[in-house]
């Protein structure tokens, strides 16, 4: 099920990432294809979006935007237990993200007053994957934080599926419940281009958020600067499970498998300092795969990005974790919460046998839109902060300028910016009043 790696005795202190395998999913060919798609959308607008949707998704649409009546009907058609689950998820996401909002601050210091506050972006664009699967949870995990942040307009792009002749009803229902303003049946790099630059149907946005395949992730990198990109490289799914002799082999195995279920280009690692644990988890995984309806897809992902690493101990396991910088990290071992505090690089950490990443995927509250492909070294989960801008207002009194002005003059003169210095001198000398 997993490729075995014996990392015992390996010095990971110099360049740990170079010592570990990682698929090259961001090569020149995908990037060139993405750039071509973006250029075509910018030049051709809606007709190009329709053409690319038919080419890539096999769906010919009369219109790109989903009508309000269809959204309301999707909610009305939800099974009661699914609607209850969505509402529970929304409640958890709202509760967590409201705590991230910062109250306006006023800082006063001897003639200097600074007012610091936050303002939401006017319009956010969300991307939710589709095609072979449907992800209403990702609608909730992106739209609810945007709404809590106070974003006025939320546009959602989802690739249509031939099976539904459009967007899956569960996804439309989630959009309606989460407060999405507009839904468009557009996917891939073309959706990112449309949200960044605008077309006849899709108005340009200020921030784009949401996960996707390698083409979506690269497209977001390409348009960064023209539009804000929330969270770093939210691409194919990843998990590292660290297990010791206390772990349930079945629990660890299913958690390695569950992220591989998302599709190609992902990573799934098992790390342990006990070889018998690796043997037991791999054996349990084979039994689970034998009964899985998506066994072929999971095996294909694991064949490219599935590893079982044997290390010297907990400290070495953390070195591997920090080198991989995984999207999801599960610590199914003794002293898991203490060990978690020593993790530097991970999108989300789940501690103990009853905290699978799937809880975070659906109902825990923090967004499941997480950094992938090693970007957890410098990036975090999607939060309300991705939809907010920090503003500040500075007010200086005459006495405050008398105190601070000479420092401004000294620094400005050192940098050769005489007008900056003179803007202070003229005030300190009383100007030409």
Answer yes or no: are the C-beta atoms of 388 and 149 closer than 8 Å: yes
CB atoms within 10 A of CB 217: 28
DSSP character at residue 312: S
- How many C-beta neighbours within 10 Å does residue 319 have? 21
Distance, CA of 211 to CA of 139 (rounded, Å): 10
Could you give the count of Cα atoms lying within 13 Å of 263 in the half-sphere of its Cβ?
12
Give the position of tokens 């405050």.
400
Q: How far apart are the first and last CA of the chain?
A: 82
Q: How many CB atoms within 10 Å of residue 171?
A: 26
| Residues 196/205, Cβ–Cβ less than 8 Å | yes
Distance of CA 321 to the CA centre of its chain: 19
Residues with active-site annotation: 327-328
Count Cβ atoms below 10 Å from residue 303 Cβ, excluding itself: 13
Residue with tokens 């977001």, as numbered in its chain = 220
> Do residues 395 and 171 lie in contact, with contact meaning Cβ atoms separated by under 8 Å?
no
């Amino acid at each position: 099920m997993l490729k075995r790696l014996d990392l015992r005795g390996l010095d990971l202190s110099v360049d740990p990432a170079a010592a570990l395998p990682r698929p090259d999913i961001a090569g020149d060919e995908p990037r060139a294809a993405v750039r071509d798609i973006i250029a075509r959308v910018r030049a051709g607008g809606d007709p190009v979006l329709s053409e690319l949707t038919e080419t890539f998704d096999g769906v010919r649409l009369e219109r790109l935007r989903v009508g309000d009546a269809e959204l309301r009907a999707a909610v009305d058609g939800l099974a009661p237990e699914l609607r209850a689950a969505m509402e529970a998820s929304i409640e958890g996401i709202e509760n967590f993200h409201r705590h991230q909002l910062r109250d306006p601050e006023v800082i006063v210091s001897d003639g200097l007053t600074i007012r610091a506050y936050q303002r939401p972006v006017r319009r956010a664009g969300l991307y939710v994957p589709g095609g072979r699967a449907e992800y209403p949870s990702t609608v909730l995990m992106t739209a609810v934080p945007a709404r809590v942040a106070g974003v006025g307009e939320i546009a959602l792009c989802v690739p249509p599926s031939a099976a539904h002749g459009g967007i899956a009803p569960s996804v439309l229902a989630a959009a309606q419940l989460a407060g999405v303003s507009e839904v468009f049946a557009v996917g891939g790099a073309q959706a990112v281009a449309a949200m960044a630059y605008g077309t006849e149907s899709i108005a340009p946005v200020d921030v784009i958020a949401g996960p996707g395949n390698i083409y979506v992730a690269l497209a977001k990198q390409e348009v960064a600067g023209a539009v804000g990109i929330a969270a770093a490289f939210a691409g194919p799914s990843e998990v590292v499970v660290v297990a010791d002799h206390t772990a349930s082999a079945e629990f660890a195995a299913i958690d390695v498998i569950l992220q591989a279920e998302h599709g190609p280009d992902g990573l799934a690692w098992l790390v342990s300092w006990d070889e018998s644990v690796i043997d037991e988890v791999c054996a349990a995984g084979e039994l689970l795969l034998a009964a899985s309806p998506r066994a072929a897809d999971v095996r294909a992902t694991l064949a490219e990005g599935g590893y079982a690493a044997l290390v010297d101990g907990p400290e070495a396991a953390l070195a591997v974790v920090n080198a991989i910088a995984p999207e999801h990290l599960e610590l199914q071992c003794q002293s898991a919460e203490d060990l978690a505090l020593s993790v530097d690089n991970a999108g989300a950490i789940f501690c103990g046998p009853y905290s699978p990443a799937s809880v975070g995927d659906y109902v825990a509250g923090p967004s499941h839109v997480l950094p992938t492909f090693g970007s957890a070294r410098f990036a975090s989960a999607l939060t309300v902060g991705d939809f907010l801008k920090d503003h500040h207002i500075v007010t200086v009194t005459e006495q405050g300028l008398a105190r601070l002005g000479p420092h401004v003059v000294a620094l400005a003169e050192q940098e050769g910016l005489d007008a900056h210095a003179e803007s202070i001198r003229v005030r300190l000398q009383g100007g030409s009043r």
